[in-house]
Amino acid sequence: MSIISINPTNGSQIKTYTDLGFEETVQKIERANTAWESWKKSTRETRNALLISMAGVLRKRSQELAVLMATEMGKPVTQGLDEVEKCARCCEYYAENAEKHLSDRIIETEASKSYVTFQPIGVVLAVMPWNFPFWQVFRFLVPALAAGNCGVLKHASNVPGCALAIEEIVRQAGFPDDVFLTLLVGSDKVSKIIEHPLIKAVTLTGSTNAGIQVATKAGSVLKKTVLELGGSDAYVVLADADLELAAESCVNSRLINGGQSCIAGKRFIIEKTVIEEFIKLFFQKMKAKRVGDPLDAATEVGPQARADLRDELHGQVEKSIEKGAVCILGGEVPPGNNAFYPPTMLINVKPGMPAYYEELFGPVASIIEAEDEADAIRIANDSIFGLGSAVFTQDIAKGEHIAATELQAGSSYVNHRVASDPRLPFGGIKTSGYGRELSDFGIHEFVNVKTVYIK
């Protein structure tokens, strides 16, 4: 079987890759484990120096990597450059903080000495998506290497060039051979890879369906998983919000990466008294966004990553309209061999519509009216997902209360769009997954939290 990369801007075939047979896959897992036998003994100074070196390689190659993303999955180059910079900052964050996160913790007991130490566990399998083809991998890889683990990557089948580039970046940074290897395989091979005894744990970012399949398999062989799955983030706009700021943040959040972000705002829940004004502002800002060739520095919204995903999204829009939603912007598939979809606004969104309950993974905003503050919170929580959330209000104390205690999500922001940051834990509740990435919480997911007791 082959893995073929296709340019979503024009439907042209970029390159065909031969996927690995199972024997070659096993050889790579074994090589990664051999590398781990030495890597786990490397000093903190060595690991930190290599992470800093990797940040340098990323920055040096940023333009080329941004073009690669634009070509394979349609991300506008300016956003690709930001993504590479974020990966570099993640390297620096863990170079500066891993020692603090992983140092032994003395615990006073009756023992002469008792403490907790954090030991590496071995080779971790990462199953990753195409939407942030570098960032999603780096936010797993950097803390994994910093903790003394090694990694193998099964990347999404539409970004094989990015997958191989990451392997090369690790090598160029000077890491020992094989501490991180890309496995060019289809998703049908993942189950057998999880079974392999040298794979110690699995992390997956992607759809809820893929997460369930991987977690089910990993559970059957008792391997730990971290799952970062879909979301349908609710952005609550209260009557006392600064509507200009709220509309700006909501539009920018909805359209980041062509709307293909797990933490994009997807459901905009607006108090009745201000909904008309909010819709006007939101419409103007959505309409003003420049859609076009992702290689053009002026482009703000590129094509969707794949035509089949764009068609699926359009189906959700059509079904919502059939059930009573009103489309006031976009909503039409442009002609030609491409994966474009225009910024789209659905108003009058109600329960029972895909735009209310499902994840819309593209540039489609669902506007939902709420009677009052309590109703808005109820609607925000009326979802199977629980990844991010935001609330807009000029009453900061009220906003903080709603964010901290009312919204059911892994993170809640006040007057700001949700964004991942190496310093802050990232992950979801409900069907958005479990476990956390980034910060000290992320680096502790794949270590043996070991108790040492000396009489």
Write out the binding residues for ligand NDP, residues 140-169 only, by CB under 6 A: 154-157
Orientation angle between helical segments 160-172 and 62-73, nearest 10 degrees: 160
Q: Which is nearer to ligand NDP, 300 or 359 (CB)?
A: 359
The alpha helices in 323-372, defined as continuous H runs, are 354-357
- Minimum CB–partner distance for residue 97 and ligand NDP (Å): 25
274's tokens: 């201000």
* Stretch 99-128 residues interacting with ligand NDP (CB under 6 A): 127-128
The answer to whether 190 contacts ligand NDP (rule: CB under 6 A) is: yes
CA dihedral 202, 170, 5, 295 (to 10 degrees): 120
Q: Minimum Å distance from CB 208 to ligand NDP?
A: 8
CA pair distance 108, 111, nearest whole angstrom: 8
Annotated active-site residue in 90, 150, 250, 262: 262
Choose between 211 and 342: whose C-beta lies nearer to ligand NDP.
Answer: 211
Query: In the complex, what is the shortest distance from the CB of residue 343 to ligand NDP, in angstroms, rounded to a whole number?
Result: 17
What is the nearest approach in angstroms of ligand NDP to the Cβ of residue 300?
Answer: 20
Task: Tell me which residue of 93, 88, 92, 91 sits closest to 62, measured CA to CA.
Answer: 88
Touching ligand NDP, residues 341-370 (CB under 6 A): 359, 361
32 to 91, contacts with ligand NDP by CB under 6 A? none
Q: Which amino acid is at 221?
A: V
Start-end of H helices in 103-242: 135-146, 160-172, 190-195, 208-220
205 lies in the binding site for ligand NDP (CB under 6 A): yes
Which is nearer to ligand NDP, 50 or 90 (by Cβ)?
90
CB of 426 to ligand NDP, least distance (A): 11
Choice between 174 and 186, CB closer to ligand NDP: 186
Q: Catalytic one among 83, 228, 358, 437? A: 228
Q: Is residue 392 within the footprint of ligand NDP (CB under 6 A)?
A: no
Residue 18 tokens read as 């031969």
Q: 215 vs 241, which CB is nearer to ligand NDP?
A: 215
Task: Identify whether 228 is a catalytic site residue.
Answer: yes
Give 92: exposed, middle or buried? Use CB within 10 Å, 0-12, 13-18, 19+: middle
Q: 288: Cβ–Cβ under 8 A, 6 or more apart, which residues?
A: none
Return the structure tokens found at 206.
């992607």
Question: Do β-strands 105-106 and 13-18 pair in parallel, antiparallel, or remain unpaired?
Answer: unpaired
Residue position matching structure tokens 């009220």: 398
Q: Of 237 and 305, which has the nearer Cβ to ligand NDP?
A: 305
Contact between 356 and 349 under an 8 Å Cβ cutoff? The reply is yes
In angstroms, the CA 27 to CA 156 distance is 21
309 lines the binding site for ligand NDP (CB under 6 A): yes
Answer yes or no whether residue 186 interacts with ligand NDP by CB under 6 A: yes
- For ligand NDP, the binding residue among 7, 131, 225, 411 (CB under 6 A) is 131
In this structure, what DSSP letter does residue 150 have?
E
CB of 207 to ligand NDP, least distance (A): 3
Q: Tell me which residues touch ligand NDP (CB under 6 A).
A: 127-131, 154-157, 186-187, 190, 205-207, 210, 213-214, 228-230, 262, 309, 359, 361
Q: Which residues are catalytic?
A: 228, 262
